[in-house]
Each structure stands twice: as structure tokens, then as C-alpha cells.
Structure 1
């Protein structure tokens, strides 16, 4: 009976290390909302990127330390909804969408609903879909589109009210891309524990230096390119599947003509 009690208590425990990163990401997302309410939009956008960093670390730390758990997966999903669903929608609304009235908050809601649906679909497809690709734009990348745009706008001295319609378009498209069937590379097939050449480390350092030159513009551009990569990859794969059939048909026609 004592052994049973010890095992039950142990099974109810929560792994500390990965959930610390998840909590840090949740805090960053919540701070982003508060900062946007106070008109500190640049700080709010940066907080979303910090949440992205924490979100990328918690899962990898859990796998590397063998501390995965159902609680951690559910907690991570809830934190993602706050950091990459609610926070970007409210930041966009407070920065420029509020001037559009009903259209503005509907655009923000479309994004928020898209993030919720994207996370729900991802949770139901764990262990089923190809790990090399995401189905639909990942919610952190969608959040980076909005946060990066607002961050760059703030640094450029652009008022949200001047680009409210453009912001609404980006917000709606980001929400729709999350629930689309476009395939995006997940980069999960990269071996983070493997050995690399010394040149690779120098390249990584160079990338960090390059981003630090103009972080708002460079990060915004990177995630816009990534958002466009989904439709490009999907269309390319569809054409690639159709191309062999076309080649075979042409070769068959040539053989028949020769005969």
C-alpha cells in the first residue's frame, strides 16, 4: 500500500525544467497584452518574439532531457493560445485595427479563431502527420508576422491608423494561413544533438550579428518569406506529382510514333 501511494504521488508530479520555459512564454504573451494596452507596442512585439523563443525551447528541452508529459503538452498548448493567439490579435487591434470599428475587431477575431483551430488541429494530428512539415502556418510564425510588422512600423515612425486596412489584411491572411492546407517546413528533422563543423558555428554567429543590425526589418522579412513558402512548396509538390505522368505520356507517344 505504501509503494502504491509513492508511485501515485510520483506520477502526479510535474517536470520543472520544460514547464519553466512554457511559463516564461506564457508570461511574455501576457506582458505583450498589457504593454499594448499601455501603448508600448514595440515592447509588446518584442515580448511575442521572446515567447516564440521560449516555445521553441520547452519542447526541445523536454525531448533532450526525456521529461515529456501529457501535462506539459496541454500546458504548452494553452500558453500558445495566449502568446500566439490572443496577444497578437489584441496588439494588432490596439495598434491600428480599433480605428476600423467592427471590421477591425472582426479581423482580430478571425486571427484569434484561426490560432485556436490551428492548435486544436495540431493536437489531434500528433503522431499522425509528417513531422517534417506543418499543415498550415504554425501559430508562432503567424504571430511573428503581426508582431514583426508592428515592430517595424513603430521603428519607422508609422502610425497604426495610417495603415489600418493593410494591417487588417495581414491579420486576416495570417489567420487563414493557419487553418489552410499549405505545407510548411517544420525544421524538426534537424539533429540538434549531432556534431557540426566549426564553420557552421561561425555561420550561426554571423546570422545573429546580421539580425542584430536591424532586427525588426530582418525578422519581419524572414517570417514574411516563410509565410509565402507554404503556398510555393505546396504548388511545387502538386506539379511535381503531376509531372512524371506527363513525361510518361509524352514518352509513350514518341514510342508509338517511332513504331
Structure 2
């Protein structure tokens, strides 16, 4: 009698995902209570948990379809809804319709970005992200709020700037700009001793002015996508900026895989 497979979920990676979800929810509640610095920091904490859950799952061989779907739902809260509401509560309320429309552009961009990412798993070039990743976009918006609070800037006085950056971050997520994923970095190999010193210096720089340094870093990363894309093409087309061309390529890859699978199945059938 075949052994019955036990039903359940893996605890450790899903526990980390839950911690990231809690951080995103905490950011929303904190912004509603006027604690914008805590809200911004909570979004960065959610980024840490988001980076850990997938790596822990791969290291412990505990990947699952449930974990992947749960991670997407948690990312939508932590990097989609939370940054938009934090930005809205801090600097967009006085703008009326423009304020909540800018926040909605960000939320819808995050939802579309995550949906597109899920449909391209296994077929997209792992070296690059198509569009700004939602954690990076969340860091850009949260970093602006954190900088504003750190330098005692009233969000309502820079509402237009907050609206522009929030809306642009949402649009960058659904763009076709290529962003380095840094997944090709070999963290298991040996590096020169000076690399450790450079890492220490980076920690020191971030610790001196964490809000400003993190915001500038993610702002530069957001600009790197358009720059990399425009440098890699001879003539800029609409498909290089936005459009469904990459999705059509993905559909072609899927159909090609299905066709090859059918051919191999036919070859294996007894004649």
C-alpha cells in the first residue's frame, strides 16, 4: 500500500513571510497614528524578511506552491498597499483627488508587477527584472517619507513631490525597463580581503544617515533601469518602455515548451 503523503505547510519560510506581512500591516497602522518614521522603517524590515523567506526555502528545500502564493499576497500588502497608504497619510491628503489617485497608481502598479512576475517565473532572464521590483519601489517611497520625517519636513508642503514620486514608482513597476537582479552574484565563493573592508564601510555609511543613504541608493537604482535600457538599444521603441511585447514572448516560450513536450511524448510512445 503506497504511503499517504502528509498534508501541511512548511513552517520556517512561511513564518518569515508572515513576519514580513506583519511588518507591512504595522506600517499601515503606524501611519494612521501619525508615526511615519516607524511606518517607513517597518517597510524596510519587511524587505529583509522578504529577502530571507525565499532563500531559506531554497536552502532547506522547503519550496511549495502555497509558499509562493502566500509570498505574493504578503508582498502586495507590504510593498503595494502599505507604501501607498504611508505616502498618502504623510503628504497626499491635502491634494484631494490627485493625492489618492497617485496612491492608487502605485497600488495598481504593484499588483500588475507581481502578477506579471508570477507568470514569468522560469522563463524570464534571471539576471534582470522587467520593471522596478516592488520591494525597491516600496523602499523608494518609504525612503522619501523617512527622509522627510528625519529632516522635520511637513509632508503637506511637499505634496506634489510625494505624488510625483509615488506615481512614477508605480509606473516604473509596470514598465519594460531592465533592472539588474544581482542574482548572478556568487555569495559562496572566495573574495579578496578588501571586499570585507568595503562592506564594513558601506555599513558605516548607512549607519551615519540611514534614511538619506537608503533613499539615495534606491533612487539611483530606480534611475538605472531606464539608463540600462536606453543604452542597450539602438533605437528606443514603445515596447522598450511599456507594452505587452515581453508577455507575448513569454506566451511563445510556453507554447514552444508545450510543443516540445508533445513531440517528446510521441517519440516515447511504443510503435
One fold, TM greater than 0.5? yes
d(CA) in 1 for partners of 2:193, 2:12: 29
Of 61, 70, 74, the match for 2:65: 70
CA RMSD of aligned residues (A): 1.4
In structure 1, the partner of 2:269 is none
Of 11, 23, 28, the match for 1:16: 11
List gaps (5 residues or longer) in structure 1. 242-259
Of 79, 85, 89, the match for 2:80: 85
Q: Does 1:44 align with 2:69?
A: no
List gaps (5 residues or longer) in structure 2. 237-271
Range 204-213 or range 166-175, more displaced: 204-213
TM-score (ref. length: structure 2)? 0.84
Q: Does 1:178 align with 2:173?
A: yes
d(CA) in 2 for partners of 1:165, 1:235: 28
In the TM superposition, 1:19-38 aligns within 5 A as 19-38=14-33
Q: Does 1:102 align with 2:88?
A: no
Of 128, 137, 160, the match for 1:142: 137
Greater Rg over alpha carbons, structure = 1
Q: List per-residue Cα deviations over 1:221-242 (Å, max 9, x = no partner).
A: 000000000000000100399x
1:161 deviation in Å?
0.4
d(CA) in 2 for partners of 1:122, 1:200: 32
1:103 deviation in Å?
1.1
Query: Secondary structure of 1:184's match?
Result: strand
d(CA) in 1 for partners of 2:19, 2:91: 27
Q: Does 1:196 align with 2:201?
A: no
Query: Secondary structure of 1:96's match?
Result: helix
May I ask how many residue pairs the two structures share in their alignment?
236
Q: List per-residue Cα deviations over 1:178-219 (Å, max 9, x = no partner).
A: 000000000111122333333222221221111000000000
Range 130-139 or range 200-209, more displaced: 200-209
In the TM superposition, 1:149-228 aligns within 5 A as 149-228=144-223
By percentage of residues, which structure has more helix? 1
Q: List per-residue Cα deviations over 1:232-255 (Å, max 9, x = no partner).
A: 0000100399xxxxxxxxxxxxxx
In structure 2, the partner of 1:246 is none
TM-score (ref. length: structure 1)? 0.88
d(CA) in 2 for partners of 1:66, 1:209: 35
In structure 2, the partner of 1:120 is 115
d(CA) in 2 for partners of 1:195, 1:26: 35
Range 17-26 or range 197-206, more displaced: 197-206
Range 85-94 or range 189-198, more displaced: 189-198
Range 17-26 or range 146-155, more displaced: 17-26
1:132 deviation in Å?
0.3
